[in-house]
Chains A and B, each alone.
Chain A
Amino acid sequence: EDQVTQSPEALRLQEGESSSLNCSYTVSGLRGLFWYRQDPGKGPEFLFTLYSAGEEKEKERLKATLTKKESFLHITAPKPEDSATYLCALQGTGTASKLTFGTGTRLQVTL
C-alpha cells in the first residue's frame, strides 16, 4: 500500500530563517511525487511534480528535491505569506490516477 509520511507536523520560522520539510514515502513504483500548498479552508494549490530520483524543481523561495525514499521542500528566506500547510502526495504506478496524500506540515512564518 502506498504511504506518505510528512515531518514535522508543524514548523514555526522567523522571516528569513531557511528550513526544510520532509516527505518520506513507500510505493512499489513511483509515477510522480507532488507538492501542494493549502491555505485554511481552501483547496490544495499545485506547486511541483517530481518524477525521478535526483530531480529538483524551484519556484521563488521554494525548492523541491527527490530521492528514492523521500522528498524535501526547502524554503529559503521565507516570508509571512509563505505561511500555509504544505502537502506531499504521490501517484504510484499501481493505480490509475489517484493521489495518496500525507498529513501535511503546517508552516508559520513570523516577522
Chain B
Amino acid sequence: EPEVTQTPSHQVTQMGQEVILRCVPISNHLYFYWYRQILGQKVEFLVSFYNNEISEKSEIFDDQFSVERPDGSNFTLKIRSTKLEDSAMYFCASSVFTEAFFGQGTRLTVV
C-alpha cells in the first residue's frame, strides 16, 4: 500500500542550527502538507503546497520556515535557525484532494 515516508525519524540539533526534514509523498498525490505536534498537544497545520507553490500557511510558518519540492518525488521543510520551542514531531502529509495521508513523523529535538 502506498505510504508517505519521512526521514530522518529522529533528529537532534543545536539551537540556531538549520535543519531540513525530508518527505516522499504518495506518488499520484497533488497536495502536500507539513504539520507539527508538540508533545501532549494537538496536531497543528503549518503549510500546504500545491502546483509548486504555497497554497496556505499558518501563523506558525514564519520566515524561519521554508518548503521546497526539489524534484518530482521529494518535499522538504527547512527551519533556518532552530529554537528550543521548535522541538516537536513534524508530520508530512499528502492528498489527492481532501483526504490527507500522514507519514510517521520526524521527532525534532532542539538542545
Contact = CB atoms under 8 A, between A and B. Distances in A.
B11 interface: no
B100 interface: yes
Interface in A65-111: 87, 89, 91, 95-104
Interface residues of A, number: 24
Interface in B56-111: 56, 58, 89, 91, 93, 95, 98-105, 107
Contacts of B105: 41-43
B15 interface: no
B56 A97 contact: yes
Interface in B20-70: 31, 33, 35, 41-45, 48, 50, 55-56, 58
A43 B4 CA distance: 10
Interface in A2-40: 31-32, 34, 36
Given A43-B104, A91-B98, A97-B48, 9 more contacts: A34-B99, A43-B102, A46-B99, A96-B48, A96-B55, A96-B56, A99-B100, A101-B44, A103-B42
